[in-house]
């Protein structure tokens, strides 16, 4: 399997896992909110409700930073490749025909880096909340 196929497979697998984990987490938390007494939240509910907001900000920030860093690396790689193709077009691998594949790899790399923190947090939450009882 080529690197590109592994990367695409990884993104697809993570997206599939997210499509299962996120509804589980949302269902658990919405049920917990529905059962919680708004006048006297338990310590456990208060902690979980605070965690909901905090973890979204943390995952978003981590994903945004990872995507920005990966986009910067991809930009550097693409610019270097472009310069090489101008300076030595006869060298193998520096043909303009390789550009679409390079752009695709760059885009997949940015997507993969951005998805990783969200995937990690959502699947961890699904496992953790799956082990706890609502009451």
Give the structural domain span for 59: 3-130
Provide the number of structural domains found in the chain.
1
Whole-number pLDDT of residue 59: 94
- How much is the average pLDDT of 52-78? 95
Q: Is residue 54 part of a domain?
A: yes
| Structure confidence at residue 9 as a pLDDT band (50, 70, 90) | confident
Own/partner pairs for 11-15, CB < 8 Å, 24+ apart?
A: 11/108, 11/111, 11/112, 11/115, 14/112, 14/115, 14/116, 14/119, 15/115
Q: Are 10 and 110 in contact (CB under 8 A)?
A: no
The tokens 């695709």 sit on which residue? 104
Q: Is residue 135 part of a domain?
A: no
What is the pTM (predicted TM-score) of this model?
0.77
What is the C-alpha to C-alpha distance for residues 135 and 119, in angstroms, rounded to an integer?
A: 27
Q: Which residues contact 21 (CB under 8 A, 6 or more apart)?
A: 119, 122, 123, 125, 126
Whole-number pLDDT of residue 82: 81
Q: Is residue 122 part of a domain?
A: yes
């Amino acid at each position: 399997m080529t690197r590109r196929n592994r990367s695409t497979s990884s993104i697809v697998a993570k997206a599939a896992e997210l499509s299962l984990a996120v509804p589980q987490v949302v269902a658990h938390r919405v049920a917990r909110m529905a059962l919680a007494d708004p006048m006297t939240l338990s310590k456990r509910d208060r902690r979980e409700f605070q965690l909901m907001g905090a973890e979204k900000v943390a995952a978003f920030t981590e994903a945004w930073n990872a995507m920005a860093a990966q986009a910067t690396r991809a930009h550097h790689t693409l610019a270097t490749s472009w310069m090489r193709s101008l300076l030595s077009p006869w060298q193998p691998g520096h043909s303009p025909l390789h550009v679409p594949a390079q752009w695709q790899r760059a885009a997949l790399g940015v997507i993969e880096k951005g998805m990783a923190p969200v995937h990690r947090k959502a699947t961890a939450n699904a496992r953790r909340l799956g082990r706890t009882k609502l009451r």
